[in-house]
A = this chain, B = another copy of it.
Amino acid sequence: MSFSKKVTIAQLASEANVSVATVSRIINKNGYVKPETREKVIKAMEKLDYQPYVKKFEDNSLRSKSLLICFPDFRNPFYGEIIEGIQATAFSRGYLPFDFQASNPRNALKEYEFIMKENNFCGLLLAHNVSNTELLSQLRLRYPIVMCSEHCNQPNISFVSIDNTYAVQTAINYLLSIGRTKISFINSLLTNNYSRLREKGFHDAMTHAGLSIPADWITHISDINFEMAVSAVTRILSGENHPDAFFCVSDVYAAAAIKAIQNVGLRVPQDISVVGFDNIDLSRMTVPSITTIKQPSFDIGQQACNLLINLIENPSAPAEHILLNTELIVRDSTSARINSKNN
């Protein structure tokens, strides 16, 4: 078996008649490239049979170079870009990433333990919440384990994530700056670490601004599920007094808020502004497009996979806890209030 010769980025750039930087942006999925330009580069890739990653498939030790990558839910579009980042790192370092979802989330660690023991996986990348941190620490004594995006505070477990609390404070402060003070908070269940950290960010920012809101304007949804979120937002809108903004911990919830608000005949962003979280593709697809917190999802996957492979190749590598920067992206779902703040 042979894989064909390596095509360089410079060759691609020349074939597509674009700059090396443009090709690099496309390969690393880093920064905006016009669709027409992207098409040209993709055509050049096809013509030259470009292979995005250095292949090491000839390496006989590959059978012990498989990574087990564990997700909570393949239907949540948030994970697509993280998977791309993991893949980019794994392939370029000669590892094979296999994605898996436990059959029972409540016993997930036991399933992974069984799989690691019975198969050839040499490392475990967890992209979901773990409640049994004691069992996780025990597993870590036997296997290289890194957490990705969602994480827990075990000192011996490396993770790559974001500063959830700070990210939410930034978003709430932005809403306050455009005169939105009656803010409803659409959260996931507090069993998730990220949900607790984001709720803290919400409370911190509101308290700092001297604002309070009705208790039932904070709601917790058990799943990243559009219909459940539409119901929750509709219920909040049915009260006598309604919020002038929704802050949602997922773009899926934000799309649901937009739908629910328009369903009751109100306008987004004029009557009620909406902010989401993640910057998944969906945030650009809705009308209005969604103001959101951009997670560096591709980088999170890439760096987490790097930490895992470092740990496999150097078992005494110290644990690292990395928080990457987020960014508020303002789109069409938010605008300043026209009336006074206290309306």
Contacts and interface: CB of A to CB of B under 8 A. Distances in A.
B63 A87 contact: no
B119 A66 contact: yes
Contact of A281 (B75, B110, B115, B120): B75
Contact of A222 (B42, B57, B107, B225): B42
A4 to B, nearest CB: 8
Contacts of A115: 96
Contact of A39 (B46, B98, B228, B282): B228
B91 A51 contact: no
Interface extent on A, as a size class? Answer: 35 or more
Nearest to A104: B51
B287 A107 contact: no
Interface stretch (A148-156, A238-246, A252-260): A252-260
A163 interface: no
Contact of A87 (B46, B52, B101): B101
A226 B75 contact: no
B74 A83 contact: yes
A84 B136 CA distance: 26
Given A103-B51, A103-B53, A74 B80 contact: yes
Stoichiometry, as copies per complex, reads 2
Contact of A286 (B35, B62, B230, B287): B287
A228 B35 CA distance: 5
A207 B118 CA distance: 58
A55 interface: yes
A273 to B, nearest CB: 16
B74 A226 contact: no
A284 interface: yes
27 contacts: A1-B114, A3-B104, A35-B231, A49-B106, A53-B104, A62-B114, A63-B118, A66-B119, A73-B80, A74-B74, A74-B83, A74-B84, A74-B99, A75-B80, A75-B81, A75-B83, A75-B281, A77-B77, A83-B101, A87-B101, A97-B100, A119-B119, A119-B120, A226-B281, A226-B284, A282-B285, A285-B286
